[in-house]
Structure 1
Amino acid sequence: MAHRSLVSVLALACACPGSGSSDSEGTTTGVATTEAATTGASATTAPTTGEPGTEVASVVHSFGNYLMTPYLEIEPCVQWTLHNDEPIYVNAVTLVNDGGFHHSNWFAVPEEVFAGEDGFWDCSSREYNEITAAVEGTVLFAQSTQSRQEAMQLPAGAVIKIPARHKIVAGVHLLNLGSTDLDSELRMALDIIHPRDIEAVLAAMHLDYRDLAIPAGKHSRFTGNCSFRHDVEKATGKPLDVKLYYVLPHYHYLGEFFGLQVMGGSRDGEVLFQLDGFNGGANGAAFDPPVDLSDADGLRFSCGFNNWLNKEVGYGIGDQEMCMMLGLIDARVMIESRVSQNSQLVGVDDGKVMHEAECDNYALFKNPAQGPPAPEELARPLYVPPADPGDVDLEPTKSCFDSAPTAAPDAPVTLTSVRDSIFTPSCTFSSCHDDGAPAAGLDLQTADGLADRLLNHDVAADTPDALVTPGDPQASWLYRLVAECEPQNGEGAVVRHMPFNAPTLLPDPLVAKLRAWIEAGALDD
């Protein structure tokens, strides 16, 4: 994938199991908050003050399914034409997929840009690039790395504006690490509000540490000092006036930390956001109230890595790493701050090799179409664009159904096949149960000793069941977690099913494969 430039957004990594969970391996701190987007048909919320309520309507679209053959890695584009005759103002975005979507970056652009039919397409066939998408339109959303279900809920009154006759486009990175086909559907929901309820039309901020040289066999940290005050004031001719509403960090499987601090001013050093760990969860966070940076010089961001490999890792995709953040701001300009060179080794702190650099900063005025609502919009009823025929009454997420106990298992029924078709793509793909810092101490990645770990693992959950009980799937906690939408622990409390952050279960033939392997005695092949 090409290096990202101004306001090019990358989707972002996560922490296992997830923010706010009592059993979470990853945590967020500071004043940031995460919320789920509202869903369903048009609705009105009436406050207790007697003032008019906020009108909200949800528009849902299915992009269809993408069939990923075993071990496929591909980067297509995808498109949804809104057919909107008027601007719409998006307060929340929800994205759902069935797995294999490593990350995706979303923009709203005029209909004539990257002209062609909706659905999936070859990016090069329409000369798609994210710089053009950002300049011709606006940044809409970024998917956290490997997240199957994600909602970006902005604070009340904060919106992404999609002008009239626009469409939504994205470049997506698809990766099937499994030994079986993966047929994954992609859905998106937009929650839109009435123009009269708008307080801020947001623009994008992008922080990016590109000069990565992550040392082999060590923990390390890279910090970018992004003092963008001078560049923004030079571009606008006015004092710095930036309010931060939303952040979404991004690193890959070696990442173990992301931190964001205020740089300069009376709040110098204040921690705004912190993330520890990595998984397939949704880790964007909103600030309510927004963070006023008018007194600051800029922002300081850090990424920490645990490079357990025997080689140095640089910046890129595949087995390389990234360190970046998408921010949504109320400002006159879009802001890009990046470290492209001159990263310096500054010492060792608590066993971590510390690197630091100054950011190059750029400010670019927003597209003129990204202005506030026109007076006539304020007087009209809430405008909702028409739904595509196939999207009528479509829910933002699929309903979950327990796995069919009579389903025929995918063959062969061996532990190696279970590992290759289930554990690798769904349990270790998001680094929850890898061999580095496995969730609940369960390493499902390492082939050696896997059978012994499955049979003798000390289950952390409050359940009388062993992780795997040979011959008895229903007495096997692992099977119940992947076969039931609402598995209950020993106290009768519902716990989260697996895969983590998935709205639905794995395909029935794969769940049946695990069931059949346990029924046959959970043998080590």
Structure 2
Amino acid sequence: MHAVAAIVMLGIVIAGCSDETASGDIVPTMSHSFEALSVGVGAEVSGVCQSWTLGNETPLYVSKVRQRNDGAWHHSNWFFVPEDTYPGPDGTWDCDERGFHDVSAALEGGVFFAQSTQALEELQAFQEGAVLEIPPRHKIVGGVHLVNISAAALDTALHFDIETIDEEDVKVRLRPISFTNTALDIEPQAESRFGMTCNLGEQFESTLGVPADYNVYYVLAHYHEWGHYFRLSFVEDDGADRTIFELRNSVGEPLGITIDPPISSQGAPKLRVECGYINDTDGRLHYGLGGQEMCVFLAYTDADLIIGATSGVNEALGQNSDGIFMNETSCGTILAAPVD
């Protein structure tokens, strides 16, 4: 999910939330199994894409998506795009050869699903009547990252089950918001936290002419093996904050949550993400794929904006009274696109 903040341009300690991310109730109306990928012992697969043409002549109103895989799937990001995008046969293909990138995929269509790190099974489930709308004649496409830490070579596949509802049952169409903090500089042999606050009020005012008044329906956090803490919160101009989603969790467990009932921003103009790490290595960790870390979230809201934000410069604040190395990262570029 490392480019999900760019994606949306263009996931325990929870109050008032229901955990719907593991195996749960779903009545699939569509299912698909991608072809298995071969991963050698200690090997890593990246730069590989997979696609599935839906063949839908009418819009699909997706209320639930269940992902299952056979192991070694470190993470994967999935999008819906027009079926003539990235032309070529479905199945497995080289991302670069067809010009696939998370950013272009989101621009062409939208965000469909983001897999929690090493999660074997998880369910992205929205509240009654809340959906992702996939327009006619679209396909699902994803960039995948596999890491095999087992003692044997693997042939491993990923499977999707999708539950849709009828248009007359749709109450709200959901849009993505995502931040990525790429300015990570994590202390060795220590616990660290990184916070980043972005002012979305300016985007709502300049793009829609209204205050930042929206509801958060679903949140997915993303970090790697040293990550152990995540918090997303609304922030007022005076600095007062309200928690949307807070967790302490292990990699390999689903890191997404359905916020039920949805939580309102109540006009709070800012959104803050915090990620915590316990680095038990002798080296500093930075933002990256294998052997490095990430701090990313994807949220679905009822805002009429698709929003993505990246990080600016990080400031190391030193240790707090609990011995945690605290960091504050400035918000970088915020990109917002209105929804038709």
Kindly indicate whether residue 34 of structure 2 is the aligned counterpart of residue 63 of structure 1.
Answer: yes
Which position in structure 2 is the counterpart of 1:315? 287
Kindly indicate whether residue 322 of structure 2 is the aligned counterpart of residue 350 of structure 1.
Answer: yes
TM-score using structure 2 length: 0.93
Which position in structure 2 is the counterpart of 1:132? 104
Cα contact 2:3–2:102 (8 A) shared by 1: no
Q: Which amino acid aligns with 1:323?
A: C
Question: For the residues of structure 2 that align with 1:203 and 1:248, how far apart are their CA atoms?
Answer: 14
Kindly indicate whether residue 188 of structure 2 is the aligned counterpart of residue 216 of structure 1.
Answer: yes
Structure 2 residue ranges without an equivalent (≥5):
none
Tell me the CA shift for residue 81 of structure 1.
Answer: 0.3
Kindly indicate whether residue 322 of structure 2 is the aligned counterpart of residue 337 of structure 1.
Answer: no
Which position in structure 2 is the counterpart of 1:6? 6
Q: What are the residue-to-residue correspondences of 1:483-522 with 2, within 5 Å?
A: none
Cα contact 1:39–1:58 (8 A) shared by 2: no
Question: For the residues of structure 1 that align with 2:315 and 2:299, how far apart are their CA atoms?
Answer: 23
Tell me the CA shift for residue 289 of structure 1.
Answer: 1.9
Distance verdict in 2 for CA 1:188–1:266, change over 3 Å:
farther
SS of structure 2 residue aligned to 1:85 = coil
Q: What are the residue-to-residue correspondences of 1:168-317 with 2, within 5 Å?
A: 168-264=140-236, 268-317=240-289
Which position in structure 2 is the counterpart of 1:39? 26
Q: Which amino acid aligns with 2:45?
A: I
Q: Which amino acid aligns with 2:32?
A: H
Question: For the residues of structure 1 that align with 2:107 and 2:297, how far apart are their CA atoms?
Answer: 19
Q: Which amino acid aligns with 2:95?
A: C
SS of structure 1 residue aligned to 2:30 = strand
Question: For the residues of structure 2 that align with 1:187 and 1:128, how far apart are their CA atoms?
Answer: 21
* Aligned-residue identity in percent: 35
Tell me the CA shift for residue 264 of structure 1.
Answer: 0.9
Tell me the CA shift for residue 318 of structure 1.
Answer: 1.2
Which position in structure 2 is the counterpart of 1:48? none
SS of structure 2 residue aligned to 1:141 = strand
Distance verdict in 2 for CA 1:141–1:99, change over 3 Å:
same
Question: For the residues of structure 1 that align with 2:237 and 2:127, how far apart are their CA atoms?
Answer: 25
Alpha-carbon RMSD across the aligned residues, in angstroms, is 2.1
Residue-pair matches, total: 336
Runs of 4+ in 1 over 6 A off after TM superposition: none
Kindly indicate whether residue 100 of structure 2 is the aligned counterpart of residue 100 of structure 1.
Answer: no
Question: For the residues of structure 2 that align with 1:89 and 1:162, how far apart are their CA atoms?
Answer: 6
TM-score using structure 1 length: 0.61
Cα contact 1:212–1:315 (8 A) shared by 2: yes
Tell me the CA shift for residue 271 of structure 1.
Answer: 1.9
Q: Which amino acid aligns with 2:114?
A: A
Tell me the CA shift for residue 68 of structure 1.
Answer: 1.5
Tell me the CA shift for residue 283 of structure 1.
Answer: 2.0
Distance verdict in 2 for CA 1:116–1:200, change over 3 Å:
same
Give CA-to-partner distance per residue, 1:217-238, whole Å, 9 cap, x none. Answer: 1111111112211122212222
Give CA-to-partner distance per residue, 1:324-348, whole Å, 9 cap, x none. Answer: 1111111111111232324342542
Distance verdict in 2 for CA 1:367–1:264, change over 3 Å:
closer
Cα contact 2:6–2:310 (8 A) shared by 1: no
Q: Which amino acid aligns with 1:197?
A: D
Which position in structure 1 is the counterpart of 2:44? 73
Q: Which amino acid aligns with 1:73?
A: E
Question: For the residues of structure 1 that align with 2:171 and 2:316, how far apart are their CA atoms?
Answer: 41
Cα contact 1:147–1:281 (8 A) shared by 2: yes
- Structure showing greater relative contact order (alpha-carbon pairs closer than 8 Å, 6 or more residues apart): 2
Cα contact 1:93–1:190 (8 A) shared by 2: yes
Distance verdict in 2 for CA 1:113–1:359, change over 3 Å:
same
Q: Which amino acid aligns with 1:39?
A: I
Give CA-to-partner distance per residue, 1:413-437, whole Å, 9 cap, x none. Answer: xxxxxxxxxxxxxxxxxxxxxxxxx
Distance verdict in 2 for CA 1:2–1:257, change over 3 Å:
closer
Q: Which amino acid aligns with 1:339?
A: S
SS of structure 1 residue aligned to 2:106 = helix
Distance verdict in 2 for CA 1:346–1:228, change over 3 Å:
farther
Question: For the residues of structure 2 that align with 1:366 and 1:65, how far apart are their CA atoms?
Answer: 38
Kindly indicate which of the two structures has a greater share of residues assigned to strand.
2
Question: For the residues of structure 1 that align with 2:217 and 2:141, how far apart are their CA atoms?
Answer: 23
Cα contact 1:258–1:301 (8 A) shared by 2: yes
Kindly indicate which of the two structures has a greater share of residues assigned to helix.
1
Question: For the residues of structure 2 that align with 1:246 and 1:311, how far apart are their CA atoms?
Answer: 34
